Structure formats: structure tokens, C-alpha cells
Amino acid sequence: MYFDYAATTPMTNKTKTKLIQALNQPYANYNSLHPLGKATAKTITESVTKIKAAFNLKPEQEIIFTSGATEANNLVFKSLYQQSGKNHVIISPFEHPSILAVVSALQKQGLKVSIAPIDKQGQIKIDALLACITKETFLISFVSCESEMGIRQDIVKISQAIKKHHPDIMIHSDMTQSIFKLDLDYGALDFVSFSGHKLGSMVGIGGLITLSNQALLPQIHGGKSYHPSRAGTVPYEAILSLRFALEEPLQPFSDAFIKSLEKTPGVLLNRFAHCSPYILNISVLKHHRQASLALLAQHNICVSLGSACSRQAQSRNVALLFNEQRAKNAVRISFNEYHQKQYHLLKQYLKELAR
Amino acid sequence: MNCVWISAMGCMSCIVMHDEIEAILNKYQIDYQALDADFDDLSGFDFKNDYPVLLFYENETKIKEFNGEFALSALEDFLKVARQ
């Protein structure tokens, strides 16, 4: 039983069928000038139009296709650092390792970093964030939905407050856990990163959405591609898989499921009202989280410790908002599909685990 | 006295503490070797796997280790005494 959709959401049978049907038709390189190349380019253009519609983008807003959110995050941070001539960024305390790694790398080149202050429920304090801004600040980046507990930020309110006072500062959000599922109003954001495989496409496709059409220096140089900021042959199959994945609805877990877990002795829910309905973080008091993971795995139940890319022995984010003991026992359960029988079995095994 | 400073990619504590650690090491004129847990060979070092890590050596013997989100005041206290 799979409850790790926040790590990757496997393609549904419908998506696979549509993709195979499409790939059974002849196709060529997007840049080729012969008729098959032109037909391929037309299919790509149609697919991008549908992807933009699913993401609630205006026609003039662009998607720079990348291999995923990690590359998109690298592109926006590195390009703006090179272009701006400034050296200060502000990030939230909940960023994914793909943001932290690029920040670490740039820090060694002289980048200064501030962490946005948060309240007791993990939400960014806007006034305190504005107070962190300096003359050197060129980018503010905050994750729209944190990946361990699903803590959501008010991206509209935060981005508009920043732009009101500092219209020249670029604002980026890694929306990998919320785009399409939860957030379709981007407020005053300039850039958004996403990964297709969190939404049910094949792995290897994602992008950086340029909402204000700010140009970015490419970090990968090469031949003509879909966008001048990122070279490389346009990934026809991957873009089609993203298009078809976005035609499939995703389903959060039910309130009834949450309520039933709240009543389970020995299980604590690490969540607030504003958390994502697709991510549930719990602490089983009796077991360290690695033991819980192993015991559930014995019943073929797949859950995770948090971000699959993290090396931490405890959940840093749970420790930050709750306490160390809960952090050591914290397990993430994540959903995108509803299967009543599987929910029932999961609850049963969690009760046994906590007993 | 030699110092080895080990950071890791994707480590929030390393990012948060970077500038302050650097300022303290510079203040006490400590020569340090900066290593990265993801890219450098750390097999010759014995330390607790909680980043950032600061290892201090005197004549090739480890005399002090700081790990994780340690108190910067403890680092300063150690260096004040060590530099006397």
C-alpha cells in the first residue's frame, strides 16, 4: 500500500494509456523543419497551452521546462545572483534540500542568507520578513507548502506585501507540493518551481514558471530549445506525460480519516488547520520513526520520514514547531488517491503500532 | 591549532550558522580547512554525523569537536581559552 505520494505520484493507468497512444503516433524533434517536426512542434504547443490552463496561467506567462523542481530552483537562484549584482536572499525555514543545496553552494561564493521569521504555527511573519530586507536583497523565496507536515504559506498576502514596498525584489516559490492541488492564485510572485512527478507525470519533467516574464541567464547552454533560458532538446514524451497527468484529478485524504487518527491512543498529529490535506505527519509515541517505517514496511505499507532528499535523523521542521521527541518519531503519510480499503488497513496497522 | 569545518549540502543548520562561524574563526585567526560532506573524502576524520561539524586539532590530536546547532558562545569560549 502506497502512502508516499508527496515523494512521487505514480502515473495512473489513464495517463499511461493516453501517453502510449500518443507515442504510438510518429513524432520527431521539435526543432526539425520537415512536416513531422512541424507536427511535433504543434503537439508541444497544444500541450503547453493545456498545461498552462491547468496551472491557471495567462497565455503570455511562460514555462521554462526543466528536469524537475531542483533544476528550476538552481536556475532561478543562480541566474538572479549573476544578474542582480547584489548578494542577499531571504528564504523560509522550511525549504526543500534542493533550495538549501543551491543556497549552500552560493554561500561559498559570497551569498548572504537570512531566514524569514515564523510564528508558532509555522507561518511567515510578514512584518518580520520585511524587516530582513536590505539594499542587497535581490530574491525572496519561500516554499508554498512545506513537504514534511504540509504547512502552507499565504503566498498571495506575502508576495503582495513584499511588492508593495519593494517592487524590484524578485519573489520565488517552490510550489512542488501545492501547485495544481491547492494553489492557483500566485499573487505577486515572479517565479514558481514545480515537478511533474509529484502530480503523476513521468520523472524528469518540471519547470520554472515566469509569471512576470523576467528574463533569466541560462545555466545550461546549448542548441535551440523551448525557451532561451534553458537549452536542450524539448522533451516531447515528458511534456505529453505532464499534460495527460494534469487531466487526472488528485484526491486529498478525508476529514473523517484525520478525526479517527486523532482519537488513536499513542499517535500524535503534527499538524495545524492550515496544513495541506495531502500530507499528514504523525508521531507514534512508542517507536522511533525509523522503527515505525520498518514495522509498517513489514505489512507492505510505504510511508516516509519526510523529504526523500533529506539526510536528517529527525524531522527538523517537527522539532522546530513541536518538540524533539515528536521529531524523532515523526512519520509522513501522503495521499493523492482515495482507496477506502487501504485507508482502513492503514488505520488498523497504526493502531497496532501505537499499542 | 588546526580546524576542519565540515558542512553538508541541503543542511539548514549549516546555512544559518555559516556567516557567524566564519566571523568567529576569523576573529580568532584560526586557519581552517573547509570540507563538504557530499563531495570530499571524510574517511580520515572521526566525528558525530550532525552538521555543521568543527574539529580542532593540536599536533594531529583532536582536542575539541562541535556538532549540529551548537551554541556559538561555546565556540567563542573555547577559542578564547585556546588562544591564551
Length, in residues, of chain A:
355
pTM (predicted TM-score): 0.92
The 8-class DSSP code of residue A197 comes to G
Mean pLDDT of chain A: 94
Instruction: Supply angle C-alpha A14, A275, A112, rounded to 5.
Output: 105
| Radius of gyration (C-alpha) of chain A in whole angstroms | 21
3-state helix, strand, coil in chain B (%, to 5): 30, 30, 40
Flag whether the ipTM exceeds 0.90: no
% pLDDT > 70, chain B: 100
Residue pair A118/A316 in contact by the 8 Å Cβ criterion: no
Contact check, Cβ <8 Å, B15/A107? yes
Q: Averaged over B45-59, what is the pLDDT?
A: 92
**pLDDT single digits (tens) A264-315:** 999 999 999 999 999 999 999 999 999 999 999 999 999 998 754 444 567 8
Residue pair A65/A235 in contact by the 8 Å Cβ criterion: yes
Q: Is the peptide bond before A252 cis (omega within 30 degrees of 0)?
A: no
Residue in the structure block whose three cell numbers are 565556540: B75
Count helices and strands (H / E) in chain A: 12, 10
Q: Report helix, strand or coil for A89.
A: strand
pLDDT of residue A310: 44
* Cα A289 versus chain centre, distance: 23
Residues of A in Cβ contact (< 8 Å) with B48: none
> For residue A100, which of A338, A307, A341 has the smallest C-alpha distance?
A307
Q: Does A115 touch chain B (CB under 8 A)?
A: yes
CB pairs under 8 A between A and B: 38
Phi, psi at residue A40, to the nearest 5°?
-65, -45
Q: Does B15 touch chain A (CB under 8 A)?
A: yes
**pLDDT single digits (tens) B4-25:** 999 988 888 999 999 999 999 9
**pLDDT single digits (tens) A123-150:** 999 999 999 999 999 999 999 999 999 9
Q: Does B10 touch chain A (CB under 8 A)?
A: yes
Residue pair A184/A55 in contact by the 8 Å Cβ criterion: yes
What b/e sequence results for A175-207 when a residue is b if at least 16 CB atoms lie within 10 Å of its CB, and e otherwise? Answer: bbbbbbbbbeebbbbbbbbbbbbbbbbbbebbb
Residue pair B51/B7 in contact by the 8 Å Cβ criterion: yes
Whole-angstrom Cα distance, residue A109 to residue A112?
9
Identify the helix (H) or strand (E) that includes residue A347.
helix A340-354
Question: Dihedral, CA atoms, B68, B73, B75, B81, nearest 10 degrees?
Answer: -160
B60: distance to nearest CA of chain A, Å? Answer: 27
Contact check, Cβ <8 Å, A100/B12? yes
What number of other Cβ atoms are within 10 A of residue A217's Cβ?
Answer: 14
* Cα A209 versus chain centre, distance: 13
